[in-house]
Structure 1
Amino acid sequence: MWGWIEFALAMGVFMASHRIPAALGVRDRLVAALGARGYTALFSLVSTGLLLWVIWAAGRAPFVPIWDQSPAARWAVNIVMPLVVALVAFGTAAPNPFAFEGRRTGFDPARPGIAGLTRQPLLWALLLWALAHLWANGDLAHVILFGTFAGFSALGMRIVETRRRRQAGAEEWARLTAHTGLLPLAALLSGRWRPRRPPPVWRLAAALLGWAALWHLHAPVIGVWPGP
């Protein structure tokens, strides 16, 4: 019984940590005290710690099978995860006024960078991560875990997009988003966006190092070997 209680508590704290600070004005006070970058660093650190707690709690919850794990599902995780890490590496602190992880400064609507690929790289990374792991983990606790995160990320995209559109106004929103897309690759396939320059080497290096770290730390930290 305690396994389910801990899991429910971890999920509740994680979700509350993403809603209560903004609702109670805590976020604004922390931004004023720490600066935008300081707040982002603190929030990322706390979120990572809470996410690990949720994952560990799901592993300690009673095992209730719903579907069996398959080799195809494990391959899917290994194919998707490099894309997930790349979205995080190229989206975090990039000039992108549409996403909460992006910078409001330095954005050029004619050369939108990562926003040309998708305006919400971090939320798409979370959604892909959740869906791939949902398929690979068919017990009840992990279905709740990854299903909740998939819904959380999809709903988050709608909320963030609606908020940014309202803040900008219809005319300004149309100007800013002319060469961007919410769906990954939509602007590229429609011809509204073409990459003008190679991706920053340091972000590519960060993506490779991040993927390698996740691969090697998955077993000791999560307790499951990530290979297919």
Structure 2
Amino acid sequence: MVILVLGLVLFLGAHSVRMLADGWRSGVIARRGEGAWKGVYSLVSIAGLALIVWGYGLARQQPVLLWNPPRGMNHLAALLMLVSFVLLVAAYVPRNGIKARLGHPMFAGVKVWAFAHLLANGTLADVVLFGSFLVWAVLGFLAAKRRDRAAGVQRAPGNGGATAGTLLLGVAFWALFAFWAHAWLFGVRPLGA
């Protein structure tokens, strides 16, 4: 569990610098350059992600069961993951209505992803992993909204074509992940028997 927690501290810590110390971050970028910042940020993030994967894998070998979710939670989680994938795609498709409305669909997608996995999993490692991401996404969304208000950000409305494309891509990625990639990557079939 220590490796998992260390990975979460590194990964979520790197992704929280703007939220917690934006002035310091801006100063480092001004002194060292954006390339240097992105290089260190990427290395710390990759190291954190590797430790999360390793630590979670180790924790799954000797799970500490906190509760046993009913079987139906897997199906609810799968439905919520459809929403999560659409939100995650919306963060990257320009001029879509979802991003225009929410402003920060990546945080919303991570919140839905984490909540869905908390519903369907009941081990201590699951609570630590997905609970940490849920708290981070809530705090990150609030910080981003505060920055937007302070900067007077006004978003242009999205257009129907980009929104439809976002929905189609989100559904396609969800289907790929739900019916194949999740089992391949994690050994768990979310919609399987």
Q: Answer 1 or 2: which has greater helix percent.
A: 2
1:5 and 2:2 aligned: yes
Given that 2:111 and 2:137 are in contact with CA atoms closer than 8 Å, whether structure 1 keeps it comes out as yes
Of the candidates 193, 205, 209, which is equivalent to residue 172 of structure 2? 209
Partner residue, 1:165: 149
1:134 Cα deviation from its structure 2 partner: 0.6
- Counting only pairs closer than 5 Å after superposition, residues 191-202 of structure 1 correspond to structure 2 as 197-199=160-162, 202=165
Partner residue, 1:88: 88
1:121 and 2:118 aligned: no
1:156 Cα deviation from its structure 2 partner: 0.8
1:65 and 2:62 aligned: no
The 1-side partners of 2:114 and 2:124 are apart by 14
Q: Which moved more, 1:25-34 or 1:81-90?
A: 25-34
Partner residue, 1:153: 137
1:206 Cα deviation from its structure 2 partner: 2.8
Residue 14 of structure 1 aligns to a residue in which SS? helix
1:94 Cα deviation from its structure 2 partner: 2.6
Residue 189 of structure 2 aligns to a residue in which SS? coil
The 2-side partners of 1:144 and 1:220 are apart by 23
Partner residue, 1:107: none
The 2-side partners of 1:212 and 1:7 are apart by 28
Structure 1 gap segments, 5+ residues each: 96-111, 181-194
The 2-side partners of 1:208 and 1:125 are apart by 13
- The list of structure 1 runs, each at least 4 consecutive aligned residues, that deviate by more than 3 angstroms after superposition, is 19-34, 45-53, 198-205
Partner residue, 1:15: 12
Q: Relative to 1, partners in 2 of residues 1:202 and 1:24: Cα closer, same or farther, differing over 3 Å?
A: same
RMSD over aligned CA atoms reads 3.3
The CA deviation string for residues 94-115 of structure 1, in whole angstroms up to 9 with x for no partner, is 35xxxxxxxxxxxxxxxx7224
Q: Relative to 1, partners in 2 of residues 1:28 and 1:225: Cα closer, same or farther, differing over 3 Å?
A: farther
Given that 1:55 and 1:222 are in contact with CA atoms closer than 8 Å, whether structure 2 keeps it comes out as no
Structure 2 gap segments, 5+ residues each: none
Which AA in structure 2 matches 1:139? T
Q: Relative to 1, partners in 2 of residues 1:28 and 1:143: Cα closer, same or farther, differing over 3 Å?
A: farther
- Counting only pairs closer than 5 Å after superposition, residues 18-29 of structure 1 correspond to structure 2 as 18-20=15-17, 23-25=24-26
1:133 and 2:125 aligned: no
1:75 Cα deviation from its structure 2 partner: 0.8
Which AA in structure 2 matches 1:125? G
Given that 1:14 and 1:51 are in contact with CA atoms closer than 8 Å, whether structure 2 keeps it comes out as yes
1:128 Cα deviation from its structure 2 partner: 0.5
Number of aligned residue pairs:
181
